[in-house]
Amino acid sequence: MPTHDVSARYAIAIAAPPAQVYAALLSTDFTRPWVVRALAGVRLLPGLILSPGSTWRRLTRPARHSLQELDRSDFILLEQRPPREIVLGISGRFWTLAPAVERIPPARFRDPLPNGLAQAAWSFEITETGAGVLLATETRIRSADPITLRRFRRYWRLVAPGSGLIRRAILGQIRREAMAGVR
């Protein structure tokens, strides 16, 4: 997503070979860190009003979320270059009480968006360093129109700190799992 309205980037050093970090990236359960489960639970709370049954099931029986189970998520795979990079995408109205996701096929992901939608690309990139790798994650968001951008920016001001905590927790979990295989 070369043109975007909002972005956030986080990185962590990992003393392991790229292939091992990439394998950990694919297999790590992103919901394992407690902060991820807690903030995801907070995000689901408004859904208790709109759809109490299904929201309660999601709160009490959270699913495993790794890149290997991508087909069970709202994200789509946009690009994969093992063992260097993976890019996911999602489109929708993230700022609503019950976020509406629209599945846009990867081939159409770069097309102009219909008014009222925003789109996010979430990447993980592995870069070799002298002592292992640098694993970076970046999220880029673009909005279809100025009204959508204003709505998204209001939402982003509220969730950006939590989103940053989630990204750092996921990176830390990937590092722990990659390092477990180094021993």
Tens place of pLDDT per residue across the chain (183 aa): 889 999 999 999 999 999 999 999 999 998 888 888 778 766 666 666 666 666 555 555 656 578 887 777 789 999 999 999 999 999 999 888 777 889 889 999 999 999 999 999 999 999 999 889 999 999 999 999 999 999 999 999 999 999 999 999 999 999 999 999 655
Residue 1 maps to a domain: no
Q: How many CB atoms lie within 10 A of CB 32?
A: 16
Tell me, yes or no, whether 11 lies in a domain: yes
Burial of 66 (0-12, 13-18, 19+ CB in 10 A): middle
Domain contains 59: yes
The pLDDT, as a whole number, for residue 48 is 63
Look at the block and give the residue holding tokens 């477990």. Answer: 180
Please report whether residue 58 resides in a domain.
Answer: yes
CA distances 169 to 24, 38, 156, Å, are: 14, 12, 19
Q: Is residue 80 part of a domain?
A: yes
Judge whether 154 lies within some domain. Answer: yes
Q: Which amino acid is located at 46 in the chain? A: P
Residue 124 falls inside a structural domain: yes
pLDDT of 66 reads 80
- Tokens for 113, please give them: 């968006």
State which residues form the domain around 65: 6-180
pLDDT of residue 40: 74
Sign of the alpha-carbon dihedral angle for 35, 55, 98, 138: positive
Helices (H), 45-181: 47-50, 52-60, 146-180
**Rounded to an integer, what distance in angstroms lies between the CA atom of residue 26 and that of residue 5?**
28
Within a domain: 158: yes
pLDDT at site 69: 78
Q: Is the full-model pTM beyond 0.85?
A: yes
Give the number of domains in the chain.
Answer: 1
CATH number at residue 58: 3.30.530
